[in-house]
Amino acid sequence: MGLEDVLPVVLGARGCAAHIRFTKIAWGGDFNFSPCPLPFIEVSRSDVIHGNYQVMPAQLENLRNTAHKLKYRLIAIMSNDDVLLSCADLEPLRHQVQEATQIPTEILEISPLAGRNQWAGYDRALGLLYRHALKKPLPEKNAGINMVGWKWPSRERKHDIGACLALLEKLDIRVNHVIPGGSSLSAVHDSLASRANLLWCPSYIGETLEMLEKEYDLPLAGYTPPYGLEGTTTWISELDSALGCQDELVEKALHLRERYEQELGPLRAQLKGVRGFVSGGPGRLPGLLSIMADLGVDVVAAALFWPHPSSKRTFPPIIDKLPNVPKTMLVAPSLYELEEIAENEKVDFWLGGYQEQHACKRHGIPFIPITVYTKSHQCYEGVVTVAEKILKALSGFDFVANVFQSIEDE
């Protein structure tokens, strides 16, 4: 949804699109989707049962007008769960849309709502984009790299992508493209000319990136997300290996790291003996645990939402660096399990997703949002940011304004 010239169109029975429409509105401010239309092809439930997917003339006209007005170059039709379960052939519908709009149209057969493995969805969407790009002649190789991963499209210095770009610039690494959010189809095609793909979140690790590594000379680096001192150094080390720099990048990175090491001394002293809970996805959780290890914080319990195969590789070395092994490690937890942690463990602070704030409020636990924030938690600088946030929370600062908005000092 963050690509400039790709139009996502949701196909489903009438009423089923309501959740996606609400999601788009709710997240519009953070992800800058508000100006972007999110069209729907809505059919009757009997049409779904019989696999009779005919787009009404008025819907086709709306699609055609939207696509041409905003100069979209690809239409991706995403099916709701009901359509996927019907197992109907969507090729006639794809052809109908493509003929009406005169714009290449693809079917993305992955559940946008209830799929248990959202990473398969990310990989399938990325595969659709590269399948489209590989129909053209390959560009010539150049010296830069790509950054790949799921984040909102902002390149502002204070946000995650911006923090990573700033660090790589200091290391004299040229970033050709950030894929996919905020990029374009031409960027996806041109990214095939880069020397490596550098992840800053493992959510896109899958068949597509592995295929690009094996068949199109695009080594994959960055399995360890760039959080904290050790995590960011490992991230740079993986890129160093992929580019064959023989530790040149690591030496530069360690020089930059020294400044933050000095800042952390007093912060570590204040956080000695503090007990916390941390949750997150397969990129954010190991990243935040890496920061906790840097700070010497005792992580009493942790929760991994949405497991990913890469977790088997990233978690063990990070767990080994913590002062103590977490007493409880939840995977895909329910809100009831999180409630039990809040009630029984009596932690000093809670780093978690916004839905977890309610349990913290009930039990008087200082809550720090890790999905809604205005200053990056990543790279060397992120460890200082998170440490200062924990200390503010412990002193009584409330980071929650309302159910959709956090409060932070700029």
Among 67, 100, 115, identify where a domain stops: 115
Range of the domain at 163: 145-250
Report which of 35, 38, 45 is spatially closest to residue 23, judged by C-alpha positions: 38
The alpha helices in 108-206, defined as continuous H runs, are 118-133, 160-170, 185-190
Residue 103 lies in a domain: yes
Residue 262 lies in a domain: no
Q: Give the orientation angle of helix 229-243 with respect to helix 284-295, to 10 degrees.
A: 120
Query: So what's the pLDDT on residue 24?
Result: 58
- The residue-averaged pLDDT of 328-354 equals 93
Q: Residue 23: is its pLDDT beyond 70?
A: no
Are 393 and 336 within one domain?
A: yes
Backbone angles phi, psi at 169, to 5 degrees: -65, -40
pLDDT in tens, 296-321: 999 999 999 888 888 888 899 999 99
Instruction: Kindly report the number of other CB atoms within 10 A of residue 217's CB atom.
Output: 12
Banded model confidence at residue 395, pLDDT cuts 50, 70, 90: very high
User: Between residues 375 and 113, which one has the greater pLDDT?
Assistant: 375
Residue 264 lies in a domain: no
Are 233 and 164 within one domain?
A: yes
**Cα–Cα dist 356/364, whole Å:** 12
Q: Are strands 400-402 and 405-406 parallel, antiparallel or unpaired?
A: antiparallel
- The residue-averaged pLDDT of 331-358 equals 93
**Cα–Cα dist 307/331, whole Å:** 7
Q: Residue 264: is its pLDDT beyond 90?
A: yes
Tokens 């009423």 -> residue: 15
**Contact at 8 Å (CB) between 75 and 10?**
no
Tokens 């990233």 -> residue: 314
**Contact at 8 Å (CB) between 399 and 407?**
yes
**β strands within 208-304, DSSP E:** 220-221, 275-280, 298-304
Q: Residue 31: is its pLDDT beyond 70?
A: no
Are 390 and 277 within one domain?
A: yes
Query: So what's the pLDDT on residue 43?
Result: 84
pLDDT in tens, 69-103: 889 999 999 888 788 888 888 999 999 999 999 99
Query: So what's the pLDDT on residue 159?
Result: 85
Q: Residue 28: is its pLDDT beyond 70?
A: no
Are 15 and 91 within one domain?
A: yes
Among 115, 130, 157, identify where a domain stops: 115
Residue 261 lies in a domain: no
Please report, for the domain that includes residue 160, its CATH number. 3.40.50.1980
Are 167 and 281 within one domain?
A: no
Residue 1 lies in a domain: no
The domain tally of the chain equals 3
Are 75 and 163 within one domain?
A: no
Are 226 and 275 within one domain?
A: no
What's the mean pLDDT when you consider all of the chain?
88
Are 231 and 329 within one domain?
A: no
Are 292 and 400 within one domain?
A: yes
Residue 265 lies in a domain: no
Are 279 and 353 within one domain?
A: yes
> If you average pLDDT over each of 15-19, 57-61, 236-240, 406-410, which comes out highest?
236-240
Are 200 and 160 within one domain?
A: yes
Residue 123 lies in a domain: no
Q: How many angstroms separate the most distant Cα atoms in the chain?
A: 68
Cis peptide before 112 (omega within 30 of 0): no
Residue 205 lies in a domain: yes
Query: So what's the pLDDT on residue 52?
Result: 83
pLDDT in tens, 97-153: 999 999 999 998 876 555 557 788 888 889 999 999 999 999 999 999 999 987 667
Are 182 and 304 within one domain?
A: no
Percent of the chain with pLDDT over 70: 90
**Contact at 8 Å (CB) between 161 and 147?**
yes
